[in-house]
Amino acid sequence: MARDLAREIGYAYIDTGAMYRAVTLYALRHGYFNGDRPDAVDLEKAMDGINVSFIVNPSTGITETYLDGENVESEIRRMEVANYVSSIAALPFVRTSLVEKQRLMGAGKGIVMDGRDIGTVVFPDAELKIFVTATPEVRARRRLDELTAKGIPASFEEILDNIKNRDYQDANRDVSPLRKADDAIVLDNTDMTIRDQNVWLLEQYNRVVNDRD
């Protein structure tokens, strides 16, 4: 939805969740986990050298995630990464580092950014904030369809459990917890089609632009 809006209005698009997933992938590859718990000491030492970037695929027009120059867009969407990302995202030094990068990306405006703390922490003064929600079951079905289309194996039950666990962990972490910004507009898209939500979102954007003018 955010990607479609960015393409429609000619803005850059940043998926901040992909940044946390890329750091999680880095930690998994380097063995920075003790069971479910990340080794914060080793990861903090490595953090300054981890480079996460976004490049538009010219053949699809879709922004893809790169970790230290490697395209990891498919790998970071796998369930192994999804099962560990909340524990990485809860580390204060990870959030400090990535929030700084995100603010630099948006310093010139003209950007659509999605993530769980964008309207509350990263850009509390953003001109338009949308808090998107849907039932866990609908979100799980959509994620399963997305993974299936990419050829990534997953089960509905596994995805549903992951969504519920991540929501709980992210809402209850000490640093930048998941919550709606006071001035955000709530969009419950449980029963909306992709076209319906894109039309609605473009209307919100146009309203803000017209108010600005």
Per-residue model confidence (pLDDT) at position 196: 95
Per-residue model confidence (pLDDT) at position 176: 82
Per-residue model confidence (pLDDT) at position 39: 87
Per-residue model confidence (pLDDT) at position 144: 94
Q: Minimal CA–CA distance to 98: which of 153, 154, 47, 167?
A: 47
pTM for the full predicted model: 0.84
d(CA 179, CA 181): 6
Q: Minimal CA–CA distance to 81: which of 24, 13, 3?
A: 24
**Helical ranges in 10-133 per DSSP H:** 16-29, 40-47, 79-82, 85-89, 92-105
d(CA 41, CA 27): 11
Per-residue model confidence (pLDDT) at position 78: 92
The half-sphere exposure of 59 on its side-chain side, counting CA atoms within 13 A, is 0
CB 130 within 8 A of CB 185: yes
- For the chain (213 residues), the mean pLDDT of every run of 10, in chain order, is 91 93 96 87 94 89 91 93 92 94 91 92 94 95 91 92 92 86 95 94 94 76
Per-residue model confidence (pLDDT) at position 63: 86
CB 88 within 8 A of CB 23: yes
pLDDT digits (tens, 9 = 90+) for 150-196: 888 889 999 999 999 989 988 898 888 889 999 999 999 999 999 99
